[in-house]
Amino acid sequence: MRIKDFGINEIFDSRGNSTIEVGIAVGNGLAFYSSLPAGKSRGSEEAAVLPFAAASSAANRKRLGAITNRDFKTQRSFDEFLIALDGTKNKRKLGGNVMLGLSMSFARGLAAEKREEVWEFLQEEFFGASGGAAVWEPVIFSNLVNGGEHAANNLDIQEYMVLAGTKGGVKSAVKKLIAFYGALGERLSSLKRAANIAVGDEGGYSLDFKNNLEPLAILADLIREKKFSGSFRLGMDAAANGFFSDGKYRFDGKTVTTGNLAAIYERYFKKIPALYSIEDPFAERDVSGFSLLSETLQDKIVVGDDLTVTNRELIGKYAGEGIIGGVIVKPNQAGTVTEAAEALREARDRGIKAIVSHRSGETDDVFIIHLAKAARAYGVKIGAPVRERIFKFNELLRIV
């Protein structure tokens, strides 16, 4: 495919912050666009994000001019060209956000050229077409209580998630999740005697709790009730970079060591049998915490996010060491579609669970749902089933 022209526009994400949309024109009046979400609790090794002004500066547009009027036959060859053109480790020259926007738009263009759905094209390109019509029953990781950097409340833990299986169909899972979200709102209103409860960045409820355990206990009680019994498991994203400094954690108002925190989490898992997964339980530099916790958890998973930043080598390393049983895949941590696909392949080859994820600053771009389907990922992590988050739920309904 030959790119005739490209454009970078300023748009705004779900927090009202500036982000970019990147388009390519491929001739015959055809153009493809992609928009870029933004993370707030970011891993330090994530691909660089250039603000709109730098992304669309004359100097950057000149550098990017090299992609026009050149034939690229595959996604990989286009992405490799971008990576070489940028030439830095963290994609700071062209911008990881600019590169991913071009990369996703290119994938959309190639899929259209082949008269295929984006997920079909990605499956053939990266995951072997043999999966073909096989069923995909992703677990939906839906964040219903927000804390940490995503909310103005007293929770150190960033996300309390309900894990909804889709074996009975995506539609019934989504309906059940929506009903559960409503029931949780009512439960929180009555428990906290509050008529109005705020929501955080990902649509989950945001209010003060007694401690970091209380939301889990409330969620566990609610899923035991007759109407929801057996429907959901629970998961957390501690995003522990956010409460780590000088080698210690600030948790429930106390300063605790890595060992203390591991013991606290172990207690959570014992008290709440429905709790299945914990993401970034320790800071990305505190690898010892991950091994400590993984050793003691059976049939449960520790998930890497800021730890692994959608990087194939890091995923291979930590999966190989047995300290993660699952991994978050966010294309904008990597900066090209090919590298995100490689991260998914690495997870598959290492036998760990891959969960394709949104960012807390959301746009209406649904590309990640197609990537997740192409890879037959274990799960998709897409926030509460409301507001701007609903676009990804709806894309699941369309394509699964």
Contact segment (CB under 5 A) with Mg ion among 111-119, 161-169, 231-239, 269-277 equals 231-239
Are the CB atoms for 201 and 151 separated by under 8 Å? yes
For residue 16, is it left (φ>0), alpha (ψ between -120 and 50) or beta?
left
109 vs 148, which CB is nearer to ligand PEP?
Answer: 148
**Binding-residue pattern over the window 286 to 305 for Mg ion, x denoting contact by CB under 5 A:** -------------------x
Q: Exactly one of 91, 176, 300, 330 is catalytic; which is it? A: 330
Among 41, 231, 258, 338, binds ligand PEP (CB under 6 A): 41
Local structure of residue 253 (DSSP, 8 states): T
The answer to whether residue 305 forms part of the interface with ligand PEP (CB under 6 A) is yes
237 vs 284, which CB is nearer to Mg ion?
Answer: 237
308 vs 357, which CB is nearer to ligand PEP?
Answer: 357
91 vs 150, which CB is nearer to Mg ion?
Answer: 150
21 vs 362, which CB is nearer to ligand PEP?
Answer: 362
Active site residue 202: yes
Instruction: Give the dihedral of Cα atoms 85, 30, 16, 339; nearest 10 deg.
Output: -40
The answer to whether residue 13 forms part of the interface with ligand PEP (CB under 6 A) is no
125 vs 201, which CB is nearer to ligand PEP?
Answer: 201
Cα–Cα dist 390/14, whole Å: 12
Q: Give residue number: closest CB to ligand PEP.
A: 39
Q: Scanning residues 227 to 246, which ones bind ligand PEP (CB under 6 A)?
A: 237, 239
Active site residue 149: no
82 φ/ψ angles, rounded to the nearest 5 degrees = -60, -45
Are the CB atoms for 236 and 275 separated by under 8 Å? yes
Are the CB atoms for 187 and 215 separated by under 8 Å? no
Query: Where in 241-349 does DSSP place strands (E)?
Result: 244-245, 248-251, 254-256, 275-279, 301-304, 326-329
Cα–Cα dist 226/229, whole Å: 5
Number of residues this chain uses to bind Mg ion (CB under 5 A): 3
Cα–Cα dist 107/246, whole Å: 43
How are beta strands 353-357 and 379-381 bridged, if at all?
parallel
218 interface partner picked from ligand PEP, Mg ion, none, CB below 5 to 8 A per type:
none
The answer to whether residue 14 forms part of the interface with ligand PEP (CB under 6 A) is no
Q: Give residue number: closest CB to Mg ion.
A: 305
The CA–CA distances, whole Å, from 359 to 196, 198, 239 equal 26, 20, 13
Are the CB atoms for 332 and 357 separated by under 8 Å? no
Least distance (Å) between residue 396 CB and ligand PEP? 17
Least distance (Å) between residue 39 CB and Mg ion? 8
123 vs 333, which CB is nearer to ligand PEP?
Answer: 333
110 vs 293, which CB is nearer to ligand PEP?
Answer: 293
Least distance (Å) between residue 346 CB and Mg ion? 18
**Binding-residue pattern over the window 261 to 290 for Mg ion, x denoting contact by CB under 5 A:** ------------------x-----------
Contact segment (CB under 6 A) with ligand PEP among 70-78, 90-98, 172-180, 354-362 equals 354-362
Kindly tell me the sign of the dihedral angle through the C-alpha atoms of 300, 221, 258, 357: positive
| Of 296, 300, 311, 310, residue with least CA distance to 278 | 300
Cα–Cα dist 393/385, whole Å: 7
The answer to whether residue 92 forms part of the interface with ligand PEP (CB under 6 A) is no
Among 237, 286, 342, 346, binds Mg ion (CB under 5 A): 237
Local structure of residue 29 (DSSP, 8 states): T
Secondary structure (3-state) at 291: helix
Q: Tell me the CB-side half-sphere exposure of residue 78, using CA atoms within 13 A.
A: 31
Q: Which tokens hold the place of 128?
A: 């072997």
Cα–Cα dist 110/103, whole Å: 11
Q: Exactly one of 46, 120, 125, 202 is catalytic; which is it? A: 202
Look at the chain and count its residues.
400
342 interface partner picked from Mg ion, ligand PEP, none, CB below 5 to 8 A per type:
none
Contact segment (CB under 6 A) with ligand PEP among 14-22, 39-47, 115-123, 253-261 equals 39-47
The answer to whether residue 42 forms part of the interface with ligand PEP (CB under 6 A) is yes
Residues that bind Mg ion (CB under 5 A): 237, 279, 305
Residues that bind ligand PEP (CB under 6 A): 39-42, 237, 239, 305, 328, 357, 359-360
Task: Please list the active-site residues.
Answer: 202, 330
